[in-house]
């Protein structure tokens, strides 16, 4: 049986991963589950899947989970903090690690899994956004395997020829087309965006996601981060990665070849498809996702994204072009701004303003050293929080 550690098991990706695992009890075994503060959610998962280890990033929550585990008579060992996350990411009995912790918090445990040479099911795009070059060099150095879970990157992976890691030109690929739904505000009058509420921003028309990623989808920062991630995953430059609005979310992404062929991956908007694909690759297994009914879909629409409506997408292209630690600054400022929008009353339209001003204030640091990247991330958050306080 294949042992699996799920980093971020109580989030939407983690829950979908466990759903796929539960459909194949003869094939997969849960080795470790982790969460931040969702004690009840992780405890319920421990009761069902009986992992060897459970980790809570929050130490106080870990103490509570420990009491629940002992009272239930489970043999699960409870760990806490970043050290616990890194430990379960490297367990020899776990061949696969689902990296689904949201935000930059997932960087260190995902890197730990890379150093252990695991098959990384990468749902944490921030790991590549913050430390792309270091991350991919570590993958090669330690013989790890990275398979993308984001529906867009997984779709690109499925449409790519073998050998793409040696350069897209060498395998006849002209460009990558990442599709985006446009979120809930694709057609909202721009003047109305000023008054968007967190509930409206989190109401994605096609996907069920966590609050942070739902807001990122509404601003299209999520797509900007995916552009950066695609550059590292597929060894290409940002000018070869285009974004295409596709409101039906049926075509998950496309790859255009030099001969004019365009390959696309289609499916219902359900994250269990890319999860099952990556877990079983190069084989295929049942995911629980229903068949795509193209007669019901009836038509597929496409349009270019407006950088005026979605300035965060433009900021992401600028950051990857600037290189170095600029993407890390972009990501840190975005996390601060989104949290302030959700919790402190920051205007929706002020999110890109916080990011832009943080990028302008931060000196361009080298992106070749992990310590420097982590220091840059911390400093960017401090500056973004100060800017946010000025705008709330």
What pLDDT is recorded for position 26? 97
Q: In the predicted model, is pLDDT for residue 205 greater than 80?
A: no
Write the pLDDT tens digit of every residue in 90-106: 999 999 999 999 877 88
Task: Determine the pLDDT at residue 243.
Answer: 97
Question: How much is the pLDDT for 4?
Answer: 98
CA-atom Rg of the chain in angstroms:
20
Neighbouring C-alpha atoms within 13 Å toward the C-beta of 347: 14
Nearest residue to 149 via CA among 284, 298, 270: 270
Domain ranges of the chain: 2-148, 155-297, 323-391
Whether residue 317 contacts residue 238, with contact meaning beta carbons closer than 8 Å, is answered with yes
Instruction: Give 138-151 pLDDT, tens digit per residue.
Output: 999 999 999 999 99
CA nearest neighbour of 31 among 55, 53, 1:
53
When the candidates are 3.10.20.90, 3.40.50.300, 3.40.50.720, 2.10.10.90, the CATH number that belongs to 2-148 is: 3.40.50.720
**Helices 221-233 and 151-159: angle between axes, nearest 10 degrees:** 30
pLDDT at position 389: 95
Mean pLDDT of the chain: 94
pLDDT, tens only, 272-314 = 999 999 999 999 999 999 999 999 999 999 999 999 999 999 9
Predicted pLDDT of residue 211: 87
Pairing of strands 119-122, 145-148: parallel
Q: Look at residue 207 in the predicted model and tell me its pLDDT.
A: 66
Question: Which is more confidently placed, 190 or 338?
Answer: 338
Whole-angstrom Cα distance, residue 198 to residue 184?
A: 12
At 304, list the tokens: 């270019």
pLDDT band at 208 (very low <50, low <70, confident <90, very high): low
Q: Is 273 helix (H, G, I), strand (E, B) or coil?
A: helix
User: Who's near 249: CB < 8 A, 6+ residues apart?
Assistant: 179, 181, 206, 207, 269
- DSSP structure class, residue 303: B
Q: Hey, what are 309's tokens?
A: 């409506």
User: Could you tell me the sign of the dihedral formed by the alpha carbons of 376, 382, 386, 387, in that order?
Assistant: positive
Q: What is the pTM of this model?
A: 0.92
Q: How far apart are CA 109 and CA 127, in angstroms?
A: 10
Residues in the chain: 392
Looking at the predicted structure, is the pLDDT value of residue 55 above 70?
A: yes
- Under CATH, what is the fold of the domain 323-391? Rna Polymerase Sigma Factor; Chain: A (1.10.1740)
Residue 203: how many other CB atoms lie within 10 Å: 12
pLDDT in tens, 309-361: 999 999 999 999 999 999 999 999 999 999 999 998 899 999 999 999 999 99
**What's the pLDDT tens digit per position in 210-257?**
788 899 999 999 999 999 999 999 999 999 999 999 999 999 999 999
Model confidence pLDDT, tens digit, residues 64-78: 999 999 999 999 999
């Amino acid at each position: 049986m294949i042992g699996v550690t799920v980093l971020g098991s109580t989030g939407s990706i983690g829950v979908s991963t466990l759903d796929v695992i539960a459909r194949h009890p003869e094939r997969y075994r849960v080795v470790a589950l982790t969460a931040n503060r969702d004690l009840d959610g992780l405890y319920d998962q421990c009761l069902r899947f009986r992992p060897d280890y459970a980790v809570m990033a929050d130490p106080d929550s870990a103490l509570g989970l420990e009491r629940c585990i002992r009272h239930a008579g489970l043999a699960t060992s409870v760990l806490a903090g970043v050290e616990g996350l890194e430990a379960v990411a490297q367990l020899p009995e776990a061949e696969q690690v689902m990296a689904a912790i949201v935000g930059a918090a997932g960087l260190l445990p995902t890197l730990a899994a890379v150093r252990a040479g695991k098959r990384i099911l990468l749902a944490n795009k921030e790991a590549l956004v913050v430390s792309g070059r270091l991350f991919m060099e570590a993958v090669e150095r330690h013989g790890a395997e990275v398979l993308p879970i984001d529906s867009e990157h997984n779709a690109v992976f499925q449409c790519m020829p073998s050998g793409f890691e040696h350069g897209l030109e060498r395998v006849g690929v002209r460009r990558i087309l990442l599709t985006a739904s446009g979120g809930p505000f694709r057609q909202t009058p721009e003047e109305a965006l000023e008054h968007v509420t967190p509930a409206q921003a989190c109401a994605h028309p096609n996907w069920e996601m966590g609050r942070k990623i739902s807001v990122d989808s509404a601003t299209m920062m999520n797509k900007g981060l995916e552009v950066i991630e695609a550059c590292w995953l597929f060894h290409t430059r940002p000018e070869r990665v285009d974004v295409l609005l596709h409101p039906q979310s049926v075509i998950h992404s496309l790859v255009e070849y030099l001969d004019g062929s365009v390959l696309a991956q289609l499916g219902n908007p359900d994250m269990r498809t890319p999860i099952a694909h990556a877990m079983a690759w190069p084989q295929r297994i049942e995911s629980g996702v229903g068949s795509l009914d193209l007669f019901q879909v009836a038509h597929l629409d496409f349009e270019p994204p407006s950088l005026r409506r979605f300035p965060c997408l433009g900021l992401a292209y600028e950051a990857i072009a600037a290189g170095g630690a600029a993407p890390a600054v972009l990501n840190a400022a975005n996390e601060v701004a989104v949290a302030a929008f959700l919790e402190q009353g920051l205007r929706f339209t002020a999110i890109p303003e916080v990011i832009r001003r943080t990028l302008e204030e931060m000196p361009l640091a080298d992106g070749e050293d992990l310590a420097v990247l982590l220091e840059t991330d911390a400093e960017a958050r401090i500056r973004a929080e100060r800017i946010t306080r000025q705008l709330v």
